[in-house]
Chain A
């Protein structure tokens, strides 16, 4: 497509470009509709392609952008209702939105808007294919997690999309699994245990991991690499091996604590699990803090010392604020490691220390209960909230300290 750059993207040919491509997309939607309604794939492709072509022609020749988009959504939505009821409506509305968007996207030349004007057709094609592949990878990563969310509102006690759910019948949905989670002691106790164990394990991991990382970043420490390798080993050794070793180690330790320190059985149980989880979390903290220490200017500590600050004051006033992002992300990893962990707690913990993942694991094996999905949905939302908060806080502090590139 040899064109002279004049600040405008050239309008592509309607008959030779926009209509055939929109028709192809329409054919694809038609195939899905034909297969799922039982009308047959070929009939679906043919009618979908015709619909796509007509839509592209009508939109571009007669309608403005806003009206065109709206009209497509309504028309295709109506086709969806007539074919597949309420679920068809949802599918139709989305297909209409995509078709209308696609027709204008092609016609107005937006598909090459982000590319320099001298890009060849091949480069434009590759650019958009690349975006498409990225979208597919994103879908591949996220789809399994998204699936559990609607299933957690299932009115039945199975991991199944029931016919009522597919017809978007309200009777097919219910909040009973959420209710079960918030009222059933079998779930509340593990939740409480997880919320006790994970924060304590995180505090220990962060304190020890940060100290280790700072020590290991000093050039005069002998055998740095060997020590680092040993400290990181819990991350590399298969978990089941660590768990077996920890089982025997902490059994003896627990007996000793009960006998000589006179601690109660339940308290020793928690201490054992917290220490085991802290050991698993330390490598994450070491790695993230070491990474931030690489950019840390050691002359700052010397300057602080020069002005009379003790090493402790220097650490908390100078070094800590600068490596805080690394410490926080290490803490997050350590928290999630403990909160997610099922193998070690199965070995080290007793029933009184049953954590949420342990309960989910037994729940999945003994009775496939959608309460697990409700819990999973809540956890996904909490994780998203947690990560978003931390990211916002980090940006805010960067802005305040004038570190932001913007």
Chain B
């Protein structure tokens, strides 16, 4: 297996994302798991369609990323892994890697080098948060608001969420502690640099929940990213958190009276993992696809369809215009310098240690 991949990676390196040839040792179809909706459509346009045109294989989309961890566990137990490549959030990649359900990747050996000549691992930089993770995009959780419901003073900073006097009305927040507790502490006067230190203590957690308590009656809790844009479009909430791509779509593509904040956005990575235990021909196909789909140009192409930033540093200068609207996309990227003046980068180590505990406390607090 190892030799096949190495051999293949070398061949693919020479072809560096231009085309891959039909090889008898590669499977002629693959099932790719992703999130569905506009996100899958962006991958279809930027990666799947060109790859299928180059190689003539079939790519089947499975929109099961939200239950990827559970399903991969079950498939592994049943000894029947039907997925070839899975799109997951960074935190899930870490879990799958720890459980041995995802294949470890040698990024420099298996992926294309950057267009600027840098090695893959340098090009991806900090976004390689796990040995199994092949980063794709940077996205952020941020806040959108109804422009016609905030009066003459639209919110400019994150603490507007907690300011029910100036911005009365319901807010939509994620039904999980991530982002909510950080914002609560920040708006309760904790210095940004100290937030995770404070959050590691019992008192700090109590402080965060006490701050959230002040708006608990005004919050609608969401569990799917599509809910906040729907609630904003309905005018049911005055503001709400969601992923920046959802807000871009509602504002620019759907033309809704919605504005958005970049202040204190919570940056996170999304990318691929390869399930462990694939047969040789399927693995060879996946690695060939990955070399193509994660090169500099392909990552930059994805931004034509959706406002998520490419994970490679070398892709940023290549980000062009929106495919249909023709507006420049660079300024809608969470990583754009104008947007990233004040950002949180998700602390994976902190969340790996405290996630279960904080999740339990958060659910208990919700039920009170």
- CA–CA, A242 and B233, complex, Å: 39
Q: Which residues of A contact B256 (CB under 8 A)?
A: 158
Determine the residue in chain B with the shortest Cβ distance to A359: B63
Whether the Cβ atoms of A158 and B62 lie closer than 8 Å is no
Q: Taking the nearest CB of chain A, how far is it from the CB of B149, in angstroms?
A: 14
- CA–CA, A214 and B228, complex, Å: 54
CB neighbors of B among A334-360 (8 A): 347, 350-352, 354
Name A's interface SS.
Answer: helix
Whether the Cβ atoms of B230 and A368 lie closer than 8 Å is yes
Q: Which of B31, B38, B63, B229 contacts A158 (CB 8 A)?
A: B229
* B234 CB–A CB distance under 8 Å: yes
Whether the Cβ atoms of A248 and B78 lie closer than 8 Å is yes
- CA–CA, A298 and B50, complex, Å: 67
Whether the Cβ atoms of B37 and A367 lie closer than 8 Å is yes
* B225 CB–A CB distance under 8 Å: yes
- CA–CA, A365 and B64, complex, Å: 11
Determine the residue in chain A with the shortest Cβ distance to B33: A351
* B66 CB–A CB distance under 8 Å: yes
* B224 CB–A CB distance under 8 Å: yes
A-B interface contact total, Cβ < 8 Å: 71
* A34 CB–B CB distance under 8 Å: no
B-contact bits for A242-273, CB 8 A (1 contact / 0 none): 00000110011011000000000100000000
Whether the Cβ atoms of B38 and A367 lie closer than 8 Å is yes
Q: Taking the nearest CB of chain A, how far is it from the CB of B335, in angstroms?
A: 24
Whether the Cβ atoms of B61 and A351 lie closer than 8 Å is yes
- CA–CA, A255 and B80, complex, Å: 7
* B227 CB–A CB distance under 8 Å: yes
* B345 CB–A CB distance under 8 Å: no
Whether the Cβ atoms of A158 and B224 lie closer than 8 Å is no
Q: Taking the nearest CB of chain A, how far is it from the CB of B223, in angstroms?
A: 9
Whether the Cβ atoms of A366 and B233 lie closer than 8 Å is no
Whether the Cβ atoms of B37 and A350 lie closer than 8 Å is no
CB neighbors of A among B75-114 (8 A): 75, 77-80, 82
Q: Taking the nearest CB of chain B, how far is it from the CB of A39, in angstroms?
A: 22
Q: Which residues of A contact B35 (CB under 8 A)?
A: 366
Most buried by B among A158, A354, A365, A367: A367
Whether the Cβ atoms of A350 and B63 lie closer than 8 Å is no
Determine the residue in chain A with the shortest Cβ distance to B80: A251
* A159 CB–B CB distance under 8 Å: yes
Whether the Cβ atoms of B80 and A367 lie closer than 8 Å is no
Whether the Cβ atoms of B63 and A362 lie closer than 8 Å is yes
Q: Which residues of B contact A354 (CB under 8 A)?
A: 62
* A123 CB–B CB distance under 8 Å: no
A-contact bits for B138-151, CB 8 A (1 contact / 0 none): 00000000000000
Whether the Cβ atoms of B80 and A160 lie closer than 8 Å is no
Whether the Cβ atoms of B82 and A350 lie closer than 8 Å is yes
Going nearest first, the 7 A-B pairs with the smallest beta carbon separation are A351-B62, A367-B37, A251-B78, A366-B36, A158-B233, A366-B37, A251-B80
Instruction: Give B contacts to A, CB under 8 Å.
Output: 31, 33, 35-39, 60-64, 66, 74-75, 77-80, 82, 224-227, 229-230, 233-234, 254, 256
Instruction: Give A contacts to B, CB under 8 Å.
Output: 156-160, 247-248, 251-252, 254-255, 265, 347, 350-352, 354, 362-363, 365-369
Seed contacts A351-B82, A354-B62, A367-B38; 17 additional CB < 8 Å A-B pairs: A156-B233, A157-B254, A158-B230, A158-B233, A158-B234, A160-B230, A247-B74, A247-B78, A251-B75, A252-B80, A350-B62, A351-B63, A363-B36, A366-B66, A366-B226, A368-B226, A368-B229
What are some 19 contacts across the A-B interface (CB < 8 A)?
A156-B233, A157-B254, A158-B229, A158-B254, A159-B230, A159-B234, A350-B31, A351-B33, A351-B61, A351-B63, A352-B60, A354-B62, A362-B64, A363-B36, A363-B37, A365-B226, A366-B37, A366-B226, A367-B36
